[in-house]
Amino acid sequence: MPAGKNAEDNKVEGVYGQMPQIPKGSLPHWDLAKKFNLIDFDLGVKITGAGFPVYKGKGAILQRALIQFFLNEAGKAGYTEIQPPLMVNGDSAFGTGQLPDKEGQMYYVTEDDLYLIPTAEVPITNIFRNEIIKSDQFPIKYCGYTPCFRREAGSYGAHVRGLNRLHQFDKVEIVQLVHPDKSYETLNDMSNYVQSLLEKLGLHYRVLLLCGGDMGFTSAKTYDMEVWSPAQEMWLECSSVSNFETYQSNRLGCRYKDENGKSQFPHTLNGSALALPRIVAALLETYQTADGIKVPEVLRPYTGFDFIS
């Protein structure tokens, strides 16, 4: 799957922000990362293998700043922060739909029969496996930062270069459990929230409504947010926000009692808010100047510097 989906197959809901005008001779993010000693891709290959970059100096600080910014924004939006395990058992992977469909894309710890998580959605949503929720608890809003691990088997080509596609990456995830009557309103709210993060970072982005062929079979409706990579001249997916309706709650055995005392399945939703690699790629390329890279104003309280040179 390319870093940006084919807009001909999906409906473009809107394109937002100002198209960045980068200087003549501007560099793609992997060259910027090397020039300013921010990310060492070769060292990652030495230590582990391709797709496991090493963040250094101001690159590591920028990464940490983004994580803190995304978590703080989620807290302001009413999400309770969770720090979940990074490995889950088979029941958890089944509950959110990773098994049996995506086992080939997950890292598996054979001796312990555990899976490294592909996203914080898996452990966070499984908090409610085999639980009965009180209806007055809705909406339940959780967020969590985790590293994510994906084998990305079969991913080759120019679109995997640099930060475009990794085996290990950082992401802040938002998860909601809501009354079924509220789930599509919540989906729009979550999509708007993710877009607000991109706006605060000053990035050019578009919103796609995915067609059935591009959605996972677990989702009823999905919006993708893609940022513009000006040096690569391509769209990079940085977030998917999905409504799973009762698919996950049914598999999880998660229920609530309605006003008649009857057990019902809540709707589950989640979204990336945000996945860091392609955000970093877009930031480095968008904010490059002849002398270095500007840091977006909203990140400066977290980085402690406003320029990378």
| Res. 241 pLDDT band, cuts 50 70 90 | very high
* pTM to 2 decimal places: 0.94
Lowest-pLDDT choice from 2-6, 122-126, 195-199: 2-6
How far is residue 76's CA from residue 59's CA, in Å, rounded to a whole number? 26
Percent of the chain with pLDDT over 70: 94
> Residues 69, 186: contact at Cβ < 8 Å?
no
11-293: which CATH number, 3.40.250.10, 3.40.50.300, 3.10.580.10, 3.30.930.10? 3.30.930.10
Residues 6+ apart with CB under 8 A from 278: 3, 163, 164, 227, 229, 236, 237, 238
| pLDDT for res 157 | 58
Domain-wise residue ranges, the chain: 11-293
Tokens 């005008």, residue located: 21
Say yes or no to pLDDT of 212 above 60. Answer: yes
State whether residue 126 is helix, strand or coil. Answer: helix
Say yes or no to pLDDT of 2 above 50. Answer: no
Structure tokens at 198: 């991109």
